[in-house]
């Protein structure tokens, strides 16, 4: 992580590392737990590019720009350096606040961003968009969170059963039947869902809970073998130890922020105590 300027946070409840570039959480775990956030062993720490893993912030669009393919995928907020606005001890742990005033030709709107990250037994990440202008604007955004799992082939995501999704690997729209499991490349935008998701990880006998507000879509992504190789910064078997479950406003679930208004996208991550039932069903 040497190429990045970082904030280290450690309190009685949790430990985290956050980069100033992109206000990107690179690591977090509650005290005594295994890492919850996945960071590639082969991540590159270069200016202007988010590191592979952690929690990149996608803003003000998700995926490719809707009309201009030369604009960066997932917007520009993840690759700019944010200002550290404050750090204070709070009941839940430590609150670190970052700010960004975007001045990009691709985003001709008067806006301000804040990212509020609370580190403790839970990790809370809130991305706040303020409209400082006198016209409404429409944006897409995501907390593109990479979770660490013992073996993605054995993990299950609960909370998306019966939800319609866009399948970016095979094309088309489908309905999720049962829990999401991963045995090949998966890249899906689950639409119109505000549900809490659970990642069941029988190998590490734990459940990661993802609660969210201000988010109407959830993206599930694992690049699997070939795509991971093409990315070049995942490590040889990195794809087996990670899983992205992203709290988003993507595809048709974009958000319009009125003049003087704001939008808050927030996720709260926690690890549930080991579940004895998990071992039996594994
Ligand atoms: O969120 C899933 C996704 O949009 C995938 O399509 C995938 O390629 C990915 O994000 C990673 O994007 P990045 O630009 O960080 O390589």
For atom 14 of ligand 1, the residue with the nearest CA is: 73
User: What local confidence, expressed as pLDDT, does residue 179 receive?
Assistant: 98
Residue 74: CB within 6 Å of ligand 1? Answer: yes
Residue with CA at minimum distance from ligand 1 atom 8: 223
279 pLDDT more than 70 = no
Asked if pLDDT for residue 257 goes beyond 80, the answer is yes
* Rg of the chain (C-alpha set): 18
pLDDT given for residue 280 in this prediction:
38
Closest atom of ligand 1 to 52 CA is 15
* Averaged pLDDT score across all residues of the chain: 95
Is residue 18 domain-resident?
Answer: yes
Cβ–ligand 1 contact at 146 (below 6 Å): no
Would residue 281 count as lying in a domain? no
Res 1: pLDDT:
76
Is the pLDDT at 6 greater than 60? The verdict is: yes
Summarize the confidence of residues 181-207 as an average pLDDT: 97
Query: What separation in Å is there between the alpha carbon of 32 and the centre of ligand 1?
Result: 31
Confidence of residue 112 (pLDDT cuts 50, 70, 90): very high
CATH number at residue 61: 2.70.98.10
* pLDDT for residue 273: 72
Q: Is 205 inside any structural domain?
A: no
Structural domain includes residue 119: yes
CB 77 within 8 A of CB 22: yes
Please give the share of the chain, as a percent, with pLDDT higher than 70.
Answer: 97
Q: How far, in Å, from the CA of 215 to the mean position of ligand 1?
A: 18
Q: Given this model, what pLDDT does residue 274 score?
A: 64
pTM of the model: 0.96
* Residue pLDDT, tens place only, 130-139: 999 999 999 9
CB-based contact 104:113 (threshold 8 Å):
no
Q: What is the residue with the minimal CA distance to atom 16 of ligand 1?
A: 231
> How far is 193 from 189, CA to CA, in rounded Å?
10
Instruction: Work out the number of other CB atoms within 10 angstroms of the CB of residue 7.
Output: 19
Please identify every residue annotated as catalytic. 144, 246
In a domain, 245, yes or no: yes
pLDDT at position 282 over 50: no
Q: Residue 201 pLDDT > 80, yes or no? A: yes
* Residue 138, domain member (yes or no): yes
- 272 falls within a domain: no
- 3 state SS of 269: strand
Query: What is the Cα–Cα distance from 33 to 87, expressed in whole angstroms?
Result: 24
Whole-number pLDDT of residue 281: 39
Is there a domain that residue 109 lies in? yes
| Residues of the domain holding 11 | 6-152+213-267
* Unique residue bearing structure tokens 């992504």: 221
Which tens digit of pLDDT belongs to each residue from 89-99?
Answer: 999 999 999 99
pLDDT at position 3, please?
A: 75
Residue range 58-70, pLDDT digits in tens = 999 999 999 999 9
Rounded Cα gap, residues 45 and 108, in angstroms: 29
CA 34 / ligand 1 centre spacing (Å): 25
Count of the separate structural domains present in the chain? 1
Q: Is 232 in the pocket of ligand 1 (CB under 6 A)?
A: no
**2 has pLDDT over 90:** no
- Residue 107 neighbours by CB distance under 10 Å: 18
Compute, in angstroms, the gap from residue 63 CA to the centroid of ligand 1.
7
């Amino acid at each position: 992580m040497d190429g990045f300027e970082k904030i280290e946070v450690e309190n009685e409840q949790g430990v985290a590392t956050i980069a100033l570039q992109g206000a990107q959480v690179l690591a977090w775990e509650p005290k005594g737990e295994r890492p919850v956030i996945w960071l590639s062993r082969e991540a590159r720490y270069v200016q202007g590019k988010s590191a592979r893993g952690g929690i990149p912030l996608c803003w003000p669009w998700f995926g490719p720009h809707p009309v201009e393919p030369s604009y960066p995928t997932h917007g520009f907020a993840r690759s700019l350096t944010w200002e550290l606005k404050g750090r204070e001890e709070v009941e839940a742990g430590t609150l670190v606040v970052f700010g960004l005033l975007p001045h990009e030709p691709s985003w001709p709107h008067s806006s301000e961003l804040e990212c509020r990250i609370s580190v403790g037994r839970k990790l809370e990440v809130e991305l706040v968009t303020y409209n400082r202008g006198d016209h409404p604007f429409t944006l897409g955004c995501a907390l593109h969170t990479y979770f660490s799992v013992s073996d993605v082939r054995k993990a299950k995501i609960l909370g998306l059963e019966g939800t319609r999704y866009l399948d970016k690997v095979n094309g088309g729209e489908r309905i999720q039947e049962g829990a999401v499991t991963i045995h090949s490349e998966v890249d899906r935008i689950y639409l119109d869902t505000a549900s809490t998701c659970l990642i069941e990880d029988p190998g590490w006998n734990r459940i990661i809970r993802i609660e969210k507000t201000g988010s109407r879509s959830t993206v599930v992504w694992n690049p699997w073998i070939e795509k991971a190789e093409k990315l070049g910064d995942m490590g040889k078997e990195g794809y087996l130890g990670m899983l992205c479950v992203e709290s988003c406003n993507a595809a048709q679930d974009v958000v319009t922020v009125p003049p003087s208004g704001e939008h808050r996208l927030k996720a709260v991550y926690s690890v549930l105590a080991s579940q004895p039932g998990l071992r039996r069903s594994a």
